[in-house]
Structure 1
Amino acid sequence: MAELDWYVQINLKARQLRLLVTIDTYRNLTQVAEVTHVTVPAVSKALAELEKGLGLELFSRTNQGLKPTVYGECLVRHARTLLANLHQARDELKALSTGTEGKVRVGVLPASASVLLPQALALLKQQSPGTNVLVIEGSKATLLPDLWRGQLDLVVGRLPPPGEVSGFHEKELLEEPVRLMTGAHHPLAKKRGVKWTDLRDYPWILPPPESILRDPLERALQAHELPLSNNYIETLSTHFARAYLQISDAVAVMAGTYASEGLQALHTLPLTLPRLLRPAGVLWNRDRQLTPSARRVIECLEYTAPLLQQRLDHDS
């Protein structure tokens, strides 16, 4: 144990951490060698030296490639966190040395916050032109692990169920009603007294099964005795959904802000859905201190959200 303590505290280097993460990513020495631009024997030797120094086997060799042991999984997890911290320090040092005010990495969930985040960032740029932002769109399955590992500073979008965010701080920002939308040309857009049974004859644009909205939507439709048709398209892309609604008779479920945004307005069906989802908001890692730039983005979100909420409430 004394030798392990010494190696971790004194001899473990950033290049070894990067090697561990790369091996865990590719699980194949040939691919690791290609990515790191060294030979396969050099990669194998570096891993063997690291395992010898720690006195632990980090990866087992199988027919399917390298597989991390429990020790490897532990060290890789911490390696990702440490490297993320180093990258953050590098970005802040670069910002200080060049006179800029920092860089913030923001993940955005595609099925929400399409209006909130752009308006908040427009305000940010008015107040702090030197604060730069990297925006990455993705699903909660990809964004939340990146937020946990420190590869993202914030995630903005529809807040997941409370049980899925135990490692994060969260702030509710915007209550967006979920509505059933069609194109303005749709037959139901011209019909008076639309009933739930009127939806049976039309195709759907649905969120994928792994998305936040899919399960509560299906439960709401079942409550109205409306089984989902087998005629549907699944997507998280709101841009695609808007475009498809304009040229088809499909019905889509969308957050309220989408109804009035864009060059071609959509039609909102007069059918009331229950509150299917939590509000839109912002998440950050409770174990990681926010940078001044990240706090500035949150402040802009907090300022923008009530203005949008007023507009949404007025349009409802």
Structure 2
Amino acid sequence: MSASTPSDNSIERFFRSGLKLGHLRILVTLGELRQVTRVAAAFHVTQPAISKQIAEIEEALGTPVVRRVGNAVELTRIGRVLVERGREILRQIELARRDVTALAAGTAGHVRFGAVVTIPQPLIAHAVELFTRRAPNASFSFVEATLDRLLKMMDEGNLDLALGRNRVTGYLPVMRHESLHHEPFVFVVGTRHALGGADTPVAWSDLQDVRWITPMQGSPAFATMVEILAEHGVTLLRPSIESSSLALNLSLLRDGGYVSILPLSLARRYVQRGTMRMLPLPPLGPLGEAILYWREDTTTSTTQLFAECLRESSAELIDAGGV
């Protein structure tokens, strides 16, 4: 058996007793940085120490996992598999660490959270799932409203965290915010609409004389939509419906009489269900942030834990292609 073709026995021994978490961390980091010197610096050890670890992996497995190319290293096919799977293993271990840490701390208390209707429900649902698993002694409440209403509730002390689509500054000196992710908004119609056929060609001029469901006038979303349409010679001539109710908007869209905009992740769900079409037009990129708001002066360990769950859920949604 050649050194480049490990035996079944050596593979079995490697995964039963030879592979260590330290090996996985080094391989995954090597896959990202591509140089042993950089990996050594990342782990605050010497280059020979990293080289020794790589040699241990290759000896235990019975085959090379890297090859040198000048000053850099490349992963072999087996090395790439170990890095790909190792990255997921390390992620799961980190999630387990977070769960155990939260449970050991006995996190309790109550989190009051609100979001605007266009935040993807899977993001919120997964965050709640993570939170209740890590803090089974904590309670949770949720409200859906416009961002100005959510921030007013936070100002009045009736809300701990809010998730919106727009950036608001100067609302309160103690108000803080961060962007969880970006996604574009897209133009959508129900499949019963005249533009709803999968192969129906669509030009900007086709939007000139349609019935619209728009965000509320005065909102940044409405202003951005009108501005983008105007750039392409489209004006809102016919009476439109202004609505912040996602349930109403979806119902009207399914009936086939209206055109509207939705976040890409939300639109994809209804396209997959066969009830909606995303129009083949450029998306409205500036609308796509999900912004988390909180008050610095009332933050507790429980609200910090739920904020971390939101960040984690958002990252997973992005990785899964949901946004």
Please tell me whether residue 121 in structure 1 is matched to residue 162 in structure 2: no
User: 1:278: Cα distance to partner?
Assistant: 5.4
Aligned counterparts of 1:264 and 1:237: Cα–Cα separation in 2? 21
Deviates more, 1:236-245 or 1:124-133: 124-133
Q: How does 1:233-248 map to 2 (within 5 A)?
A: 233-248=241-256
CA deviation vs aligned residue, 1:196-247 (integer Å, no higher than 9, x gap): 1011232111111143311111111111110013232111111211111111
Quick check: 1:174–1:280 contact (8 Å CA) kept in 2?
Answer: yes
> TM-score scaled by structure 1?
0.62
User: 1:249: Cα distance to partner?
Assistant: 2.5
Deviates more, 1:162-171 or 1:178-187: 162-171
Aligned counterparts of 1:167 and 1:159: Cα–Cα separation in 2? 18
Q: How does 1:27-46 map to 2 (within 5 A)?
A: none
The one-letter amino acid of 1:172's match is S
Quick check: 1:105–1:152 contact (8 Å CA) kept in 2?
Answer: yes
Aligned counterparts of 1:255 and 1:266: Cα–Cα separation in 2? 13
In the alignment of these two chains, the number of paired residues is: 215
Instruction: Tell me the SS of whatever aligns to 1:143.
Output: helix
> TM-score scaled by structure 2?
0.61
Instruction: Tell me the SS of whatever aligns to 1:260.
Output: helix
Q: How does 1:1-316 map to 2 (within 5 A)?
A: 101-162=108-169, 167-190=174-197, 191-261=199-269, 265-277=275-287, 279-286=289-296, 288-312=297-321
Aligned counterparts of 2:172 and 2:232: Cα–Cα separation in 1? 31
Distance 1:165 1:222, change over 3 A: farther
Identity %, equivalent residues: 26
User: 1:103: Cα distance to partner?
Assistant: 0.8
Instruction: Tell me the SS of whatever aligns to 1:276.
Output: helix
Aligned counterparts of 1:126 and 1:310: Cα–Cα separation in 2? 22
Aligned counterparts of 2:269 and 2:219: Cα–Cα separation in 1? 23
Match of 1:90 in 2: none
Quick check: 1:117–1:156 contact (8 Å CA) kept in 2?
Answer: no
Aligned counterparts of 1:100 and 1:237: Cα–Cα separation in 2? 34
User: 1:146: Cα distance to partner?
Assistant: 1.7
Aligned counterparts of 2:183 and 2:139: Cα–Cα separation in 1? 27
Distance 1:212 1:118, change over 3 A: farther
Instruction: Tell me the SS of whatever aligns to 1:259.
Output: helix
Quick check: 1:203–1:249 contact (8 Å CA) kept in 2?
Answer: yes
Match of 2:13 in 1: none
CA deviation vs aligned residue, 1:266-285 (integer Å, no higher than 9, x gap): 21001113423251021101
Structure with max Cα Rg: 2
Aligned counterparts of 2:146 and 2:248: Cα–Cα separation in 1? 16
CA RMSD, 1 decimal: 2.3
Distance 1:229 1:118, change over 3 A: farther
Instruction: Tell me the SS of whatever aligns to 1:193.
Output: coil
User: 1:164: Cα distance to partner?
Assistant: 5.0
User: 1:265: Cα distance to partner?
Assistant: 4.0
- The unaligned stretches of length 5 or more in structure 2 are 1-105
Quick check: 2:183–2:285 contact (8 Å CA) kept in 1?
Answer: no
